[in-house]
Structure 1
Amino acid sequence: MPVYIRKNVSFTPPSIYNMQLEDDNDYLLDPDQLRDILPQPYRMIDKILTQLLESVWEIVETKDNALLAEARKVRPPLFDEAQRLDKFQKASAMATSTDEQYIFFGLPNGLAAMDSLTQAHLHSWHEENVQITNIKTHAIGPETDLLITLDDMGTARLFLWAYNNICFIKALNENAPESTSKILCQKCEASKKGDYVGAVFENTGTKEIWMEVHKSPIESWLTELEGLGAAINKQKDENRESKEVETKDSPAVGHDGEESHNTSHLENTSIEKLGIKFSIPAQVLKIKPPPEQPLPGNASSSLASALSKVDTGDVLGTGLSHILSPAHLESRDQIFNHKHEQHLKYLPTEKEEQEVQATFHFLCASSMINLGLDQSSANDHPVILAVWWAGAPHLCQYSLTKSGGKDLEYKPDIVWPFTSTITCSATSDCTTYLAVGLENGNVILWNRQIGLCKGVLSASSKSAVKSIRFLDPCLFPLDIPHYPPYPISAATFLLAECADGSQALFDTCDGSQQIPRCVADKPENDEDKQSLLQEDKQSLLQVISALPELMIYTQKDGNMYIKDIGTGAALCQIGLPATHTVQNPWDPIFAIGGGGQILYLKGEGTEIDEEGEATDISSVFMYHLRSYPLLDPYWNRGYIGRELNVYTTAVDRIAPLMQERMQQQALRKPRLQQRWSQLRSELDVIQMARQAPLNSMRITTPSSITSSIMSEVRFRKSRASVI
């Protein structure tokens, strides 16, 4: 039956006596409900605006708290006693020699050398349109250094520094100007004493990347430099005689400054006029990076040929040599894609291109090298090259003494796999210790000399390890043992820096619990990328060699500081003039010379004149660290050098023991005389005790018998100690 309802009918409201007095929905009790509920879509817009307002307010409050915390910080004193150098204002790189007597500057048109104490310009090497961006030095002889440079065009060059002259050796990658594809050098480093030089190259045309190792003919270089020194001295004598003749003929010459300038010019150009050719390094090894994931299949036509290419299994490998064919791998991919088709659509389609980079170390002989690969004339010469590539979990080791003939590319002799991707690595100066930092925040420490893993150190549980470095062994508080008389193994500190800005200090001592000492905490509110406290992240740069307790670091805001490594406290801030700033906070141009007493820093700046044109006023500033009062306690301590590689042989241990016994011989002589003087009386007492009858023995007081027995026991013990 149909029901008819009339429209626009208003019902009578309830009586006031029937109204509930405590109604939570009543606007009289809840003022927030005074306004009616908004209909859609205005209700959604209101929620979005409210959430936006709250988010903005949180950002403002965070920045306000950051500025307040920054203002409450205790600022280290400012060290702004800088002296401007008029020379080398356009320096693009800076490095110091191994003995810190000379400073080398990379310039837009070559390379220059300066005395670190007197700031006198010694020599220059000029080449048009060659801007040196990186310089590394290695000592190969007395007052002789090997210089390795990289320019802005990716060309690596080798130089020799001797007799105040820069001698050009060779460019490792020479490109013709008309060639379309060029070979660029990504990285170039050498071993500690310059025995081997390693370089990573990239072909811009084929996108191929590989690494080469060259052996340096150091003995030939030193012999050729002796002839260079004799030729330079001969030329100096000829110049001096010619000047004496000119002085007699015309006594009124120019000023002293002009004469010295002409003399230095003759000395600098003498190396170019002599025409001495130096020996060229020889290539001994070529390494290619591992292929991208997934690994390619075995392209052999038959199973027998595939098995012939597979490793024997005696040592661990990288997994490249397998018998899986491309068809088998393709079928497995199809099965996987069919099974997980509903999930694969959520994967990112664009792959991130990861830059292929190599990190390598030259290692000396140790107990962790297979027999036959450690053939070397001396223990301090490298025999193994350790290489790992970015994004790979393997550390590959290649022998440098293997004579492969013309085949310079061969498989690694030793492969160390790790549980996570390798992010950084470091070795001690003597290559005794090897530390490997992983992406999961762990550090693997190996003692290569005795062939043991010292432990797995946890630097961080949430961040990857960014850098590792071994500190000077003299900083470790190791007491000198009284016994044994020969030196025992030493220890040192290991400084690990994580990607989140935290820094931890470990020790390599035996029996340590490996509990890290926190040197620097990660900045607060690290998850907030817009936080101003991100500028507190430190970038560790270099340890001051004369003061191994101090380190120079920079922050994101461009400020440079000197801090105590043990406590993590900043001692002072290196202040530039107000018109200058550090060129690159993560890679500033600086060097420490003069035995660690002088800091050279490049500051860049621009000046705008009245016409609105900008003028480059960049310059190099010099800081005398010895004159700063806060560093006096560190200078007065007097650090004593200590060797880290202390492992004595049996012959070295026997000699100190025999010497100690000979020194104690004088102390044993009076003891022997005293024992021989008491021997007669003790023998008489023992003889009387044996000749006495049984009844008399019972009557004898126990004290006399006990004393005789005890004297005999003491005699035997003393005799055994003498023997």
Structure 2
Amino acid sequence: MPVYIRKNVSFTPPSIYNMQLEDDSDYLLDPDQLRDILPQPYRMIDKILTQLLDSVWEIVETKDNALLAEARKIRPPLFDEAQRLDKFENASSMAASTDGKYIFFGLLNGLAAMDALSQAHLHSWHEENVQVTSIQTHAIGLEGHLLITLDDMGVARLFLWAYNNILFIKALNENAPESTSKILCQKCEASKKGDLFAAVFENTSTKEIWMEVHKSPIESWLSELENLGTALNKQKEEPRENKDHEAKDLSTAGQESDSLQESQNVTHNDSTSLEKLGIKLSLPVQVLKIKPPPEQPLPGNLSSSIASALTKVDTGDVLGTGLNHIVSSAHLESRDQIFNHKHEQYLKYLPLEKEEHDVQATFHFLCASNMINLGLDQSPANDHPVSLAVWWAGAAHLCQYSLSKSGGKDLEFKPDIVWPFTSTITCSATSGCTTYLSVGLENGNVILWNRQIGLCKAVLSASSKSAVKSICFLDPCLFPLDTPHYPPYPTSAATFLLAECADGSQALFDTCDGSQQIPRCVAEKPENDENKQNLLQIISALPELMLYTQKDGNMYIKDIGTGAALCQIGLPATHTVQNPWDPIFAIGGGGQILYLKGEGTEINEEGETNDISCVFMYHLRSYPLLDQYWNRGYTERQLTVYTTAPQRIATLMQERVQQQALRKPRLQHRWSQLRTELDLIHTARQAPLNSMRITTPSSITSVLSEVRFRKSRASVI
């Protein structure tokens, strides 16, 4: 019997509920089942070891990728042409003079001075157990310099450098060795010309912190230095007169010059030499004393009555710090008791110990401007400071004190100006002429004030996620010059403002009027902390270049405008930078030579460790990559030009005289049209109102022709 089979028949697949489940125990489907399941606790140990192996592998892979990415980076060229300086291998600090001629070294037992170009040891000041850790220099007169040092025991000292001699003036805080209470100096800085300096002191027993401002007797020092120069010249002439004039041997003369040079380089204490010469230097005078604001919350008013409390309250004419208020201490205590009783169940979770914050002060000496009324009798072009701007760590307001007040015995007085800010102040900076004052805040904003006109110039946003770490004003010669057509007299110039954030990013702003204040990103936020830059100092002769270090201890020279690293300062393989965040270095010789302290140790044959630290010199002028910056020839430009009213009037009159030739043909043309205009006015007055139709130029022309025709006809008659 024939069977008919249909073609293209599709059978219905079985239901998913009827499908046979896969056998999880089948080792062919799961290779991990080839081994038997471990019993406890070995199974847990296996999981821990597997997890540990995976985490270690991830760490190894991350480091391998980081090394690979680091190897692929384009590294700046290495500037390793270092010359070893055999002197001052135990230097604990280093600073260059204002003119760059001298380099001052802080030693373990004193202070030394060296010529920046010839590396000749000029003079030393010796004192046992005095390790100088910080040096600041300020020019006094033509050849003198004021030196402010700070040692490891917190003692600040003043010196004068003149006639190749280090002259000791005074120690600001002298502590007896047997005293239990000591006064330490946290910070000591002076104004640009050294006529004023301020120091922050701390009492170790009472934990009291205050700041003192002293005035330097510059005029007295200059006259005393002249007397010192005369005495030194006489002292040098006396041994020359006693020499045997008959000895004319060249070798003998060479020996005498060598002995004279050695006598100048002998290490000794200069206080004894001044006493022998009969010269005593004048001492500075204290002019102001400032105490830090109290910790939060503010203390109450201690007055016994409301009437006495009202006498201590501020008038309210200007903003204050909030210390002089009318709220009594008893009222504040009662409010605290009410709060503690209401939230007693939550107070036990509060920390018992309070966090101790370091009380540090940052201050700037400011010249005369329109921001403060006192001291305006001085000319704004006078670069002597008349006020002091101070802010304390953790505070949100900046105070300005006048330095021209005569407080008498009471040197503590209220600030003249108080600027409150919306966030905690983290850094501040002023321009060289103190025209601009910039304040960096914790919220990433930068406030820029123009003190010459007395207005807030801009509120800049450096970062939205990080606080501002440091601010630096660049040289005005870097800003493109745009000479205005009007007014004809010179006005304020512009410059760049470099802001560094805590996350490592850097932004460049300009202070030009009418600018959009859009920051130029100089450095992005680094991926890791190893690549964070620590900005150190701008090279004075090359204002476009700056030195910075990284966490690994390498020092670089970068272009501020582009943010690119030009070269890496290379130390020998046996040496490293002593402290990457605070290296010991100085730039002398007009920015031509870099002095850097390198730290290193070596093990001798006997197994002992020897210190081989020393100072290295780098001749920046001889490095080929920096030739393009040396050849540019930067033109010095003042950030602010102070012009008086007579100077502005004279300039405007001179401009008017120069434009006289252009105004003469205009006046002639004007006089030629005046007769026509007078005829029109005369005709308009004589014509009746109904007949006046001066709507088009054609009607005016017809009227004028009619008037002229009548005049000619009358003359004929």
Deviations 1:134-171 (A, max 9, x none): 00011121122111000111110111112222111111
Structure 2 equivalent of residue 580 of structure 1: 575
Q: Tell whether 2:635 aligns with 1:640.
A: yes
Whole-Å Cα distance in 2 between the matches of residues 348 and 23 of structure 1? Answer: 60
Whole-Å Cα distance in 1 between the matches of residues 398 and 39 of structure 2? Answer: 65
Q: Out of 28-37 and 338-347, give the one that drifted further.
A: 28-37
Q: Is the 8 A contact 1:102 1:114 kept in 2?
A: yes
Structure 2 equivalent of residue 144 of structure 1: 144
Structure 2 equivalent of residue 372 of structure 1: 374
In the TM superposition, what are the counterparts of 1:98-117 in structure 2 within 5 Å?
98-117=98-117
In the TM superposition, what are the counterparts of 1:288-437 in structure 2 within 5 Å?
288-369=291-372, 371-372=373-374, 374-376=376-378, 379-437=382-440
Whole-Å Cα distance in 2 between the matches of residues 332 and 25 of structure 1? Answer: 74
Structure 2 equivalent of residue 31 of structure 1: 30
Structure 1 equivalent of residue 216 of structure 2: 216
AA aligned to 1:372 is L
Shift of 1:22: 5.7
Q: Is the 8 A contact 1:134 1:149 kept in 2?
A: yes
Select the residue among 653, 662, 679 that pairs with 2:657. Answer: 662
Whole-Å Cα distance in 1 between the matches of residues 245 and 173 of structure 2? Answer: 47
Shift of 1:330: 2.3
Q: Is the 8 A contact 1:473 1:642 kept in 2?
A: yes
Shift of 1:674: 9.0
TM-score under structure 1 normalisation?
0.85
Shift of 1:665: 4.5
Shift of 1:666: 5.7
Q: Out of 514-523 and 254-263, give the one that drifted further.
A: 254-263
Shift of 1:54: 4.7
Q: Is the 8 A contact 2:124 2:266 kept in 1?
A: no
Q: Tell whether 2:564 aligns with 1:569.
A: yes
Structure 2 equivalent of residue 280 of structure 1: 283
Deviations 1:160-210 (A, max 9, x none): 112222111111111112211111100000011112110000111111111
Shift of 1:626: 0.5
Q: Tell whether 2:510 aligns with 1:515.
A: no
In the TM superposition, what are the counterparts of 1:159-198 in structure 2 within 5 Å?
159-198=159-198
Shift of 1:262: 4.0
The gaps in structure 2 that reach 5 residues or longer are 1-14, 684-696, 706-717
TM-score under structure 2 normalisation?
0.86
Q: 1:246 to 1:285 in 2, by over 3 A?
A: farther
Shift of 1:27: 5.2
Aligned partner of residue 95 in structure 1, secondary structure: strand
AA aligned to 2:608 is E
Deviations 1:628-654 (A, max 9, x none): 000000001110011111253432222
Q: 1:579 to 1:312 in 2, by over 3 A?
A: same
Whole-Å Cα distance in 2 between the matches of residues 318 and 147 of structure 1? Answer: 35
Structure 2 equivalent of residue 126 of structure 1: 126
Select the residue among 554, 557, 564 that pairs with 1:559. Answer: 554
Whole-Å Cα distance in 1 between the matches of residues 412 and 239 of structure 2? Answer: 52
Q: 1:655 to 1:373 in 2, by over 3 A?
A: closer
AA aligned to 1:448 is R
Q: 1:328 to 1:479 in 2, by over 3 A?
A: same
Aligned partner of residue 331 in structure 1, secondary structure: helix
Aligned partner of residue 89 in structure 1, secondary structure: coil
Shift of 1:258: 3.1
Q: 1:55 to 1:298 in 2, by over 3 A?
A: farther
AA aligned to 1:292 is E
Q: Tell whether 2:530 aligns with 1:535.
A: yes
Q: Is the 8 A contact 1:186 1:200 kept in 2?
A: yes
Structure 1 equivalent of residue 19 of structure 2: 21
Q: 1:667 to 1:318 in 2, by over 3 A?
A: closer
Q: 1:252 to 1:57 in 2, by over 3 A?
A: closer
Q: Is the 8 A contact 1:27 1:33 kept in 2?
A: no
RMSD: 3.4
Whole-Å Cα distance in 1 between the matches of residues 392 and 631 of structure 2? Answer: 44
Q: Is the 8 A contact 2:125 2:267 kept in 1?
A: no
- Number of aligned positions between the proteins: 671
Shift of 1:217: 0.8
Aligned partner of residue 174 in structure 1, secondary structure: coil
AA aligned to 1:211 is M
Q: Is the 8 A contact 1:232 1:267 kept in 2?
A: no
Task: Give the percent of matched residue pairs that are identical in Structure 1 and Structure 2.
Answer: 79
Whole-Å Cα distance in 2 between the matches of residues 340 and 47 of structure 1? Answer: 48
Shift of 1:613: 0.9
Aligned partner of residue 88 in structure 2, secondary structure: coil
Whole-Å Cα distance in 2 between the matches of residues 402 and 607 of structure 1? Answer: 59
Shift of 1:583: 0.8
AA aligned to 1:625 is L
Q: 1:249 to 1:79 in 2, by over 3 A?
A: closer
Whole-Å Cα distance in 2 between the matches of residues 474 and 310 of structure 1? Answer: 48
Deviations 1:69-123 (A, max 9, x none): 1111111000011111111111111111111111111111111111111111111
Structure 1 equivalent of residue 471 of structure 2: 468
Whole-Å Cα distance in 2 between the matches of residues 549 and 458 of structure 1? Answer: 23
Whole-Å Cα distance in 1 between the matches of residues 16 and 477 of structure 2? Answer: 91
